[in-house]
Amino acid sequence: MSKIGKAFENGKAFIAFITCGDPDVATTAASVRAAVENGADLIELGIPFSDPTAEGPVIQGANLRALTGGITTDKVFDLVRDLRRDVAVPMVFMTYANVVFSYGAEKFISICGDIGIDGLILPDLPFEEKDEFLPLCRKYGVDLISLIAPTSKDRISMIAGEAEGFVYIVSSMGVTGERSRITTDLASIVKVVRENTDIPCAIGFGISTPEQAREMAQLSDGVIVGSAIIRLLERFGSDAPAHIGAYVKSMKDAI
């Protein structure tokens, strides 16, 4: 089992998404530590991209603030090296295909393996294109995470059957961002996923409240929360880590 499996050994997993360098690297590091101390089981670190086509306005804003603040892929690697001195939970990167490709895919993925990044989530790399990076991910022991969407239908079994690490189930149509209601029939999707793989599955997109988290965690093995955390960074800037800690605790307690 990959290292990512550990995130799912402590009850339902709470997965926290944080954009690196928003508003600066020190705040990101403090936010990650606050999240982990308060029960986050897996950290999803966003490497900013200039044109994040899968993101809603909140995470788009985080990308912009981080890039304006001067974050680069190399600085993100340094941040992870620093975090790995004391953070033991699995960590994955969420970014866009061009960030990996442009850095030199082998160089990027080998560094991921070296510094303790356990997986890679690329929302613009569907099943049909995964060979772009999969052989390198295998070579360096980094799980390439598969996403399943409300529109996946007949594709679910194919995707889940070859998935690694955990299956990322996108709860809703559209881009990332909080939603008041999630109406997708996720139970049916999870059922097909479970028929095709033994690895855990977690639901993300649109989850912000403890009630939603509880509901989604009942359906799956964990929940992924991004925009609600980014909102705290947007609001409190470098004072956000304490608020993030409290928020993560409330969410982990709820699930």
Partner 1 sequence: MSRGRFGIHGGQYIPETLMNAVIELEEAYNRYRDDPEFNRELEELFCDYAGRPSRLYFAERMTRDLGGAKIYLKREDLNHTGAHKINNVLGQALLAKKMGKTRLIAETGAGQHGVATATAAALMDMECVVFMGEEDTVRQALNVYRMRLLGAEVIPVKTGTATLKDAVSEAMREWTSRISDTHYCLGSVMGPHPFPTIVRDFQAVISKEIKAQVAEKEGRLPDVVMACVGGGSNAIGSFYHFIGDKGVRLIGCEAAGRGVDTPETAATIATGRLGIFHGMKSYFCQDAYGQIAPVYSISAGLDYPGIGPEHAYLHDMGRAEYVPVTDEEAVRAFEYLARMEGIIPAIESAHAVAHAMKIAPEMSQDKIIVITVSGRGDKDCAAIARYRGEEIHE
Q: Which residues contact 234 (CB under 8 A, 6 or more apart)?
A: 58, 61, 62, 65
Please report, as residue ranges, which positions from 187 to 226 form the binding site for partner 1 (by CB under 8 A).
none
CB of 28 to partner 1, least distance (A): 17
Candidate list 1, 11, 70, 98; residue touching partner 1; CB under 8 A: 98
Task: Give yes or no for residue 132 binding partner 1 (CB under 8 A).
Answer: yes
Applying CB under 8 A, the span of 86-94, 148-156, 195-203, 209-217 interacting with partner 1 comes to 148-156
Q: How many CA atoms lie within 13 A of 242 on its CB side?
A: 3
Q: Given the complex with partner 1, which of 101 and 236 has the nearer CB atom?
A: 101
Q: Is the peptide bond before 90 cis (omega within 30 degrees of 0)?
A: no
H-only helix segments in the chain: 25-37, 57-68, 73-83, 97-103, 105-115, 134-139, 156-161, 186-196, 210-219, 227-236, 240-254
Task: Give yes or no for residue 151 binding partner 1 (CB under 8 A).
Answer: yes
The CA dihedral of 33, 9, 7, 229, to the nearest 10 degrees, is: -60
Task: Give yes or no for residue 128 binding partner 1 (CB under 8 A).
Answer: yes
Task: Give yes or no for residue 123 binding partner 1 (CB under 8 A).
Answer: yes
Chain contacts with partner 1 (rule: CB under 8 A): 49-51, 53-54, 56, 60, 67, 72-74, 96-103, 123-129, 131-132, 147-155, 159, 170, 173-175
